[in-house]
Amino acid sequence: MRIIFFIGIVDLLLSTIGYLYYRHNLPWGRSSWFTLAYLLLTLNAIVSRALSPTLPHFLVKLSAWAEGLWVAFGYYTLLFALVHFVLWLIFKLLPFTLPLDKIAMVTLVASCLTVTFGSLRAFTPVVRTEHIVTSKLPAGTSYRLALISDVHLGRILGRSYAEKLVQRINQLEPDAVLIAGDLIDERITYVEEENSLAALAKLNAPKGVYLAFGNHEYIDNPALWHKMVQANGIKVLRDASTVIDGRLKLTGLNDYSRNRDLSSLKALAWENDKYYSILIDHQPRKMETAAAEGYDLYLSGHTHTGQLFPNRQVTKRMYQLDYGRRDFGKLIAITSSGYGFWGPPVRTEAAPEIVLIELNGK
């Protein structure tokens, strides 16, 4: 409820700022139809996440789409309005008068175009390939690992979305699929209504499909979600390890929101020198310690690379590696931009992705 309340306040603030901006600067901003449209979209944004899951699913989905696009529109209206304000301050010192209505129209059009671009980008995933060669595996040994994170199945992203994801992964012919958290978005009910998990049961991965819990796995009945995921052929690793082929050791940590200390990471470092040791940790926060404990590969997600430009300027400073690949001593760390999205169905930072890791021995 606290999350819903906070998001509702943010939605209200963005909508209020946008309405006042357009009302002040556009000739038709004071019209009754404009006010009514803004009011209805704002009310939907505020109450959308609190709608009863017993409502017809298509209404919940429609409301979620409208909320997400509206929030993104409000966000970019705010950013462009700030640019407008800076220009106004500069031109106050010059013998020129700014055409406020024309600049406001540019803001409106730019906001709409940015949201449209971001929405198209959000549903146009890419495959990023990472090549790793290690002496911990015998020469001629190879594994293809498909890494995904932040799928966020829920109100907007359902069965058809999951089926397309499975199709794309299966085309890569991975040996194993690794899910670095946030497979679900919010309520389990939304996933149940579309039976979205059933699509993931069709993943073709002879070495298995594995999930480490993210923060969203704990929003709604994590014990039930754990059971549902495993019933669809996905092995859950919550502060647990498993060994594949006697060569790969795969460890999944509980999310940082439930596991802030380093004790489980250290306790699970047994025989890291014996295996090629892969650590799945939803939030990219423990890489230096993982390197010190002898892990070889650290896989994470969570950041979405900020999702909406220019938010990556924040995530770069929040995390040790908010996106891409980086070495921490002998440890290779890979952070994915994620496959889905949270909130707005819009991505104007890095594109959604599947990371294909080609692991070869030497």
Cα separation of the two ends of the chain: 52
Give the separation between CA 295 and CA 270, rounded to whole angstroms: 10
Give the separation between CA 205 and CA 196, rounded to whole angstroms: 19
Q: Which tokens go with 274?
A: 């014996």
Are residues 105 and 40 located together in one domain of the fold?
A: yes
Are residues 100 and 204 located together in one domain of the fold?
A: no
The tens place of each residue's pLDDT in the chain, 362 residues long, gives 666 777 888 888 999 999 999 999 998 989 999 999 999 999 999 888 888 777 888 899 999 999 999 999 999 999 999 999 988 888 877 777 778 788 899 999 999 999 999 999 999 999 999 999 999 999 999 999 999 999 999 999 999 999 999 999 999 999 999 999 999 999 999 999 999 999 999 999 999 999 999 999 999 999 999 999 999 999 999 999 999 999 999 999 999 999 899 999 999 999 999 999 999 999 999 999 999 999 999 999 999 999 999 999 999 999 999 999 999 999 999 999 999 999 999 999 999 999 999 999 99
Last residue of a domain, one of 122, 154, 182: 122
Domain that holds residue 287: 127-361
- Prediction pTM value: 0.93
Are residues 118 and 141 located together in one domain of the fold?
A: no
Residue 226 contacts residue 211 (beta carbons within 8 Å): no
Are residues 117 and 139 located together in one domain of the fold?
A: no
Note the pLDDT of residue 297: 98
Q: Which tokens go with 61?
A: 């989905």
Scan for tokens 């952070």, then name that residue.
335
Note the pLDDT of residue 92: 78
Are residues 74 and 161 located together in one domain of the fold?
A: no
Last residue of a domain, one of 102, 122, 142: 122
Within 10 A of 30 (CB to CB), how many other CB atoms are there? 11
* CATH code of the domain in which 227 resides: 3.60.21.10
